[in-house]
Chains A and B, each alone.
Chain A
Amino acid sequence: MPGLMFEDFEVGRRYDHDGGRSVTQFDNIWYSCMTLNTQPLHSNIDFAERNGLYGKPLFNSMYTLSIVIGQSSAALTHGTLLDVLGLDEIDFPKPTFAQDTLYSRTTVNAARPRPQDESVGEIEFFHEGINQRGETIASARRTVLVRRRSSLGRSE
């Protein structure tokens, strides 16, 4: 199922994404390895028990954010995304830990055509991550460039 094109996005509409993703301490350590992140607060349980605010490893917030956004792509922009223009107002109101389950929802904040290029348009999303207790654990504004139906040469 392909993602939505510029014309398909309704400003104000909220999408609750299916699935959900439980996160583990293996994820946390592997993420540190992949990103050269030497922070023991994420990858060293012994250190986190002795020094962390919560007495256990904090789940990497960049990974939390990446899962929250990643879970939106299948329903929203799969194959129609042309570029990620930027993100802003990224917040982590509550910490995430191993064994938490992350759900995502996305609201369409704005849709802006580009007068100079009718084959593309900008969509601004508000992404939210919610854990198994219904607490918001991450939120961000994200602006992407997507295809328009009028775009020529597309092969979907």
Chain B
Amino acid sequence: MAGLYFEDFEEGAVYPHEAERTVTLADSIQYACMCMDTEPRYLSEAWAAKNSPHGRVQIHPLYVLSLIMGVQVTELTLGTTLGNLSMGGVSFPHPVFPGDTLRGVTTILGKRASSTKPDRGIVDFLHDGLNQRDEIVARCTRRGMMVTRAYKSVKA
């Protein structure tokens, strides 16, 4: 598996992620629909032209955040995580619009071995999303449960 095990994480390490993606109006509309979110600022060009200070549809900020969470997986947690425990400090310093290209950078804030289960531990991440002008468009901290190399699969 391509992700890192608990032992591999070092505080302060910075990982620029390879995957990047241009986001489109279709992404924002589909995302809002998938989440039962009726907010017209993410769905309607006509509404946005008339009512938004930007004059156009803004990409759904939780889609932006989800994408930044998504692109970190391949280098960091692919097959080596047991789940996402909590997140915090979420901000969206710059809005994202259709046609912007987003990428992610993750900094390791710290880690703590489990006191009861030697096959796992907790890692704190700082995820940043950047656009094509290198402006930060989304930022959050996240606490994930990561396995050690000693972790035995359920059916092993």
Q: Which residues of A contact B (CB under 8 A)?
A: 19, 21, 27, 30-32, 34-41, 47, 49-53, 55, 58, 60-63, 65-67, 69-71, 73-74, 77-79, 81-92, 95, 154-156
Contacts and interface: CB of A to CB of B under 8 A. Distances in A.
Given A38-B70, A47-B79, A83-B92, 20 more contacts: A34-B31, A39-B73, A39-B77, A50-B156, A52-B82, A53-B82, A53-B83, A66-B31, A70-B62, A73-B38, A74-B36, A77-B39, A79-B39, A86-B89, A91-B85, A92-B83, A92-B84, A92-B86, A154-B51, A156-B51
Given A34-B30, A41-B81, A155 B62 contact: no
Interface of B: 19, 21, 27, 30-32, 34-41, 47, 50-51, 53, 61-63, 65-67, 69-71, 73-74, 77-79, 81-92, 95, 140, 153-156
Nearest to A19: B36
A81 B39 contact: yes
Contact of B62 (A47, A65, A95): A65
Contact of A35 (B32, B66, B88, B155): B66
Contacts of A66: 31, 34-35, 37, 62-63, 66
Q: Decide if the interface of chain A is mainly helix, strand, loop or mixed.
A: mixed
Interface of B is mostly: mixed
A51 B40 contact: no
Contacts of A156: 51
B154 A52 contact: yes
Contacts of B30: 34
